[in-house]
Amino acid sequence: MRVTPETVRDEREWVHNRAPVVVSLINETRDRLGTLFGTDVDAVSREAYRRDVDAVFADGEVAVNVAGYVALLRDLDVEGDYPGFVVDEVLGRELAATIAGGRPLSLLAEATFHFVDVHVSEDATAPAEETGTAGADDLDAALAAGFQTRLPGWEWRETESPFAVDSTREK
């Protein structure tokens, strides 16, 4: 595989165009997690998703890595699928973490990836030319997990942390 600036632009366009599938997965995931944690989580619009795709790909160092993971997962297939279980899970988890950003959000996105992945079927989300690839469901799950983590809508993310230390306050 060779990744060029053109590759990154092409993968950004592909991720951008996945909005109908990924936003649906994000909102289903937020509903499930909200129920589990007893909270309401705001839904994500296609426009908000696309803005965040643009933000992720605007950072060249992040963009090249996201594009590489996306391209690998789009093309990844393993005869019989199960023998390749580890590689598509690792790539998916890393893609979700890279999209979400640094710690602690990256760790949260990795955990969320596995939660989303068990609810995704490759046949339900993969484009026709990619149906049947081992990485198809993991790719959509990773995009949903990464973007749902970084996008606003969680109450605990909308308020100031009680653990922040104000270093400007006099002692």
CB atoms within 10 A of CB 95: 28
> pLDDT of 125-147, one tens digit each?
555 455 557 788 899 999 999 99
> pLDDT of 58-90, one tens digit each?
999 999 999 999 999 998 877 766 666 788 899
pLDDT at 170: 52
143: Cβ–Cβ under 8 A, 6 or more apart, which residues?
Answer: 15, 18, 22, 25, 95, 96, 99
Label residue 5 by pLDDT band (50, 70, 90): very high
Retrieve residue 91's tokens: 């790539």
Task: Give the residue among 46, 50, 69 at the shortest CA–CA distance from 58.
Answer: 50
| 34-62: b (≥16 Cβ within 10 Å) or e | beeeeeebeebeeebbbebbeebbeeeee
